[in-house]
Homo-oligomer: A and B are copies of this chain.
Amino acid sequence: MLTEGMGLRERKKIQTRRRLLAEAARLFGERGFDQVSVAEIAEAADVSKMTVFNYFDSKEDLVLAPMEEHIGDVAQVVRDRVHGESAVAGVRRHFLAAVENRDPSVGMSDSPVALGLLQLIQQTPALLTRARAFFARSDELLVDVLVEEGEDRAVARIVAAQLIGTRNALISENHRRLLAGESAEAIASGAAALAGRAFDLLENGLGDFATRA
């Protein structure tokens, strides 16, 4: 975060925000989400409780704020896809590149901090719930892009659900492996293979998948 050209007020706000996020992460990491009150976080960051809610709409946001930035990623990728490229192809390309780059937003970071966050989220119902809301929002944003391009909204919702659902399942699988102790390095090739399979299913259809013998 560049701070040049900012007034004192802006710089302080950024600092306070960072301090709140850091103290929250520390306390949550030590004791778990539900065992830390907002008041404690406020105290640790040396501000009042009200100020915490001034910076973050809810206690959950103290954990999930970083995720929030990526809500529009898929919609953006589809909007920016190259000529001749389908929606699925665009998402596939972007996802594979993210895996290649060990992008934390697709569950490819095995840093202690990222792992700690992941664990916290998985263990805390309130956070899981909130994370799901982000998926729902991603979906809406993608629908809007498709509608802008002239697709029927009802069809767009179906396609978006399939695309976002597939992508989330892939990310979630990466998370599972990270939490099982695998390194990002170890996960990478498997993740790419699985993604290939997943996007193939999307593009060519489930067909007679799981047909009862």
Contact = CB atoms under 8 A, between A and B. Distances in A.
Interface of A: 78, 81-88, 129, 132-133, 136, 146, 149, 151, 154-155, 157-166, 168-170, 172-173, 194, 197-198, 201-213
Contacts of A165: 161-162, 164-165
Contacts of A212: 81-86
Q: Return the 4 tightest CB-CB contacts between A and B, nearest first.
A: A205-B205, A161-B165, A165-B165, A87-B210
A133, A170, A209 pick with most chain B CB within 10 angstroms = A209
Nearest to A173: B154
Contacts of A158: 166, 169-170, 194, 197-198, 201
A82 B155 CA distance: 29
A183 to B, nearest CB: 18
A82 to B, nearest CB: 7
A161 B157 contact: no
A107 to B, nearest CB: 13
Contacts of A155: 194, 197-198
B166 A161 contact: yes
A154, A164, A173, A208 pick with most chain B CB within 10 angstroms = A154
